[in-house]
Amino acid sequence: MTILVNKDTRVLVQGITGREGSSHTLAMLKYGTKIAAGVTPAKAGSDVGGVPVYNTVKQAVDAHPEINSSLILVPAAFNADAVYEALDSDIKLIVDITEHVPVHDSLEFVNYARNRGVTIIGPNCPGLMSPGECKLGIMPGQIFSRGNVGIVSRSGTLTYEIAWVLSKAGLGQSTAVGVGGDPIIGRDTEEIIEMFDGDPGTQSIVVIGEIGGDAEERVAARIKQRGMRKPIVAFIAGRQAPPGKRMGHAGAIVSMGSGAADGKIKAFENVGVRVAELPSEIPTLVNEAMLKALTR
């Protein structure tokens, strides 16, 4: 099985006629993702790869009631409006790819989504991938393979690298979730591992973290308090990052000793989660963790 997206996912692409929107729509269609419609104001009547385009989300949803998810690929200045339009059209999964979204915008629409029972992934994320079933976002589909390792990551690039080393080692993935690297995001690492822990098709979990924030520490605290059915292996990016310097993502900054890699690594190790020093070590650690879980 998978989490969040599968062969029954029916997608709306907001910003479908833009350069990024059209190219990623065509890539998703090629992968096999079922895209029902797209939205770009003033572009109704056109199409992208055979996908019909509408002026508004409401028009698209009225014409295609099977839509259950939205991929947002619009400029940051219009991102919040696009999210609210999807929320108010009762779409239950929103994947927000857009970078440079103002923090106050994210804070408001993430809270609004939670109050409506809607799952948001992102903003500033690579999206979701359930290999062989659905690619919802900008992840390169060819490096993933179907299997039972769940991936949750704050880093898009590292998601791809680690999925590739897992696939080469014969360890396919159930679902890969890029939660995004902004300070305010929708569903976070802790919430995604909860989903994986309850998924019968996921047998182990890889957490890809990075400096900044306390997402990894909260995962460790959750494991300490309630335990986990599935074994977890982790990788933390940014071990050599200097304090006070942002490294890549807006949320990847060490400040006043908080959010440093060594603290995150120690938190994981204290609850029995092994942390790889290099991405290439992860397949070995996953195999060892699953074997240990079987012999408990």
Indicate which CATH number applies to the domain containing 29.
3.40.50.720
Alpha-carbon distances, residue 82 vs 29, 86, 222 (angstroms): 22, 6, 33
What is the arithmetic mean of pLDDT over 272-294?
A: 94
Residue 130 lies in a domain: no
Choose the weakest-confidence range: 22-26, 81-85, 237-241.
237-241
Give 9-22 pLDDT, tens digit per residue.
Answer: 999 999 999 999 99
294 vs 164, residue with greater confidence: 164
CB–CB of 104/44 below 8 Å?
A: no
Could you tell me if residue 134 is inside a domain? no
Domain shared by 109 and 70, yes or no: yes
- Residue 284: strand pairing partners: none
Percent of the chain residues past pLDDT 70, beyond the cut? 93
Same-domain pairing of 101 and 193: no
- The residue among 261 and 123 whose pLDDT is bigger is 123
**211 within domain boundaries:** yes
Q: Is 24 a catalytic residue?
A: no
Average pLDDT of the chain to the nearest whole number? 92
| pLDDT at residue 243, rounded to an integer | 55
Is there a single domain that holds both residue 110 and residue 169? no
Active-site residue, from 24, 100, 104, 249: 249
User: Looking at the domain assignment, is residue 285 inside a domain?
Assistant: yes
Assigned domain for 181 exists: yes
205-213 average pLDDT score: 92
Enclosing domain of residue 66: 10-121
What domain count does the chain have? 2
Taking CA 156 as the corner, what is the angle to CA 56 and CA 130, rounded to the nearest 5 degrees? Answer: 70
pLDDT in tens, 155-178: 889 999 999 999 999 999 999 999
pLDDT band at 240 (very low <50, low <70, confident <90, very high): low
Residue 127, domain member (yes or no): no
Instruction: Return the percentage of the chain with pLDDT > 90, whole number.
Output: 84
- At 252 the pLDDT is 46
Residue 242 in domain: yes
- CATH at residue 172: 3.40.50.261
Tell me, what's the pLDDT at 270?
96
Q: Are residues 23 and 56 in the same domain?
A: yes
pLDDT of residue 255: 44
Reported confidence tier of residue 256, pLDDT bands at 50, 70, 90: very low
In a shared domain, residues 38 and 84:
yes
Hey, how many other C-beta atoms are within 10 angstroms of the C-beta on 205? 26
Q: What is the mean pLDDT of residues 19-41?
A: 97
On whether both 144 and 290 belong to a single domain, the answer is yes
**pTM of the complete model:** 0.92
pLDDT reported for residue 237:
87
Q: Decide if 253 contacts 182 (C-beta within 8 A).
A: no
Shared domain for 117 and 144, answered yes or no, is no
| pLDDT grade for 86, boundaries at 50, 70 and 90 | very high
Asked if 43 and 86 sit in the same domain, the reply is yes
Domain boundary among 93, 121, 149: 121
Residue 116 lies in a domain: yes
Q: Residue 250: its pLDDT value, please?
A: 47
163 and 113, same structural domain?
no
* Same domain as 260, residue 117: no
State the CB neighbour count (10 A cutoff) for residue 84: 16
Q: Do both 284 and 233 map to the same domain?
A: yes
- Same-domain check for residues 105 and 69: yes
